[in-house]
Amino acid sequence: MIISIDPAHSLSDSLEIKLETEAKKVAKNLYAAEIDPAKAVEEYKEKLAPQIEKIDFLKGSGLEDTFDIAGMAPGIDEIAAFDRFLRYMHSNEYDIIIFDTAPTGHALRFLSLPEVLDSWLGKMIKLRLRFSGMINTLKKVLPFGKGESDTKFGTEQLEEMKHRIEKAREIMSDPNKTHYNLVLIPEMMSILESERSLKVLNEYRIPTETIIVNMLIPENPHCKFCTERRKQQLERVEMIKKKFKDYKILQLHLFRNEVKGIKMLAGVSKILFEA
């Protein structure tokens, strides 16, 4: 199963097949889906609204009224997409799940969500305990108080969400279950960006073993421009090998035609992984 979390919907373009949020069979033993951020946000809102009703200490907080505004806030589409990401991650339908991420900045924000959400839920649980303590005290002191301990107070819902996030983080940091491929081109800016990306990936304990150097110009002695560009690229490849010496480095040359369609992609996979 290959799932795109890139809002640009490039997976549909790569496979030359119109994909939707639900899985679609595209070849033998291959399914694909593309998470639509707008649709994911709507589903997320529908899913979250009933949960807010169950969490007592959020009632009357105004969260219900402001949720439509939150749905338009930056980052809500990533959280909504992550909810779908979790759903697929915890599914037993597929042997292998491949997540096609967006370019670096978006991908790193997305991959950092388990840490961010776990921290957020931890604060929510502390807030719940604080509110619970305050209300229990009032119940004992005020004339109408019964002195009962309100133990649930939204705990079950918050703990369940926290457990799912922790499980996702555990899977994403397990080298036996997760492997992240970093793709770059042999140019200085791309190398420096990839170097920064690897630091962030290491911080979030996301296993990265393979770096793919893409768009290498093939040798062509009859083209002076091509020869000069290739010479510069090969120098950058040597730099990549030194900077990323602890990683497996694969190289992919620039093709005459665009790499799209299942047949072309199958050919690329043979060059990369069956050499």
Between CA 178 and CA 200 the distance in angstroms is 16
- In-domain check, residue 248: yes
**pLDDT at residue 166 in the model:** 76
Between CA 142 and CA 98 the distance in angstroms is 57
**pLDDT at residue 153 in the model:** 43
Check if the beta carbon of residue 24 is closer than 8 Å to that of residue 53: no
Domain that holds residue 243: 176-275
Q: What is the pTM of this model?
A: 0.72
CATH of the domain at 210: 3.40.50.300
Pairing of strands 24-27, 30-34: antiparallel
**pLDDT at residue 167 in the model:** 79
- In-domain check, residue 159: no
Between CA 110 and CA 168 the distance in angstroms is 13
- In-domain check, residue 37: no
- In-domain check, residue 165: no
Domain total in the chain: 1
DSSP-assigned beta bridge partners for residue 71: none
Per-residue tens of pLDDT for the chain, all 275 residues: 998 877 777 899 999 999 988 889 999 999 999 887 677 667 666 665 555 555 554 555 544 444 443 444 445 566 666 777 777 877 888 999 888 876 666 566 666 666 666 666 666 556 655 655 544 544 444 444 444 444 444 556 556 666 777 777 788 889 998 898 999 999 999 999 999 989 888 888 889 989 999 999 999 999 999 999 999 999 999 999 999 999 999 999 999 999 999 999 999 999 998 86
**pLDDT at residue 1 in the model:** 92
Q: Is 6 a catalytic residue?
A: yes
Contacts of 105 (CB under 8 A, 6+ apart): none
Contacts of 52 (CB under 8 A, 6+ apart): 58, 59, 63, 64, 67
Provide the token pair at 74.
Answer: 């930056």
- In-domain check, residue 193: yes
- In-domain check, residue 51: no
| Beta-carbon-side half-sphere exposure of residue 76 (alpha carbons within 13 Å) | 17
Provide the token pair at 148.
Answer: 């009962």
Strands of 248-253's sheet in order across = 180-184, 208-216, 248-253
- In-domain check, residue 26: no
Check if the beta carbon of residue 110 is closer than 8 Å to that of residue 83: no
- In-domain check, residue 199: yes
Kindly report the number of other CB atoms within 10 A of residue 6's CB atom.
Answer: 20
Check if the beta carbon of residue 84 is closer than 8 Å to that of residue 35: yes
**pLDDT at residue 238 in the model:** 97
DSSP-assigned beta bridge partners for residue 253: 216
> Residue holding tokens 């009703």?
53
DSSP-assigned beta bridge partners for residue 99: 3
CA distances from 257 to 61, 216, 260, 263, 265 (A): 57, 14, 9, 13, 12
Q: Which of 6, 36, 77, 83 is catalytic?
A: 6
**pLDDT at residue 186 in the model:** 97
**pLDDT at residue 141 in the model:** 42
Provide the token pair at 253.
Answer: 């040359």
Between CA 52 and CA 61 the distance in angstroms is 10
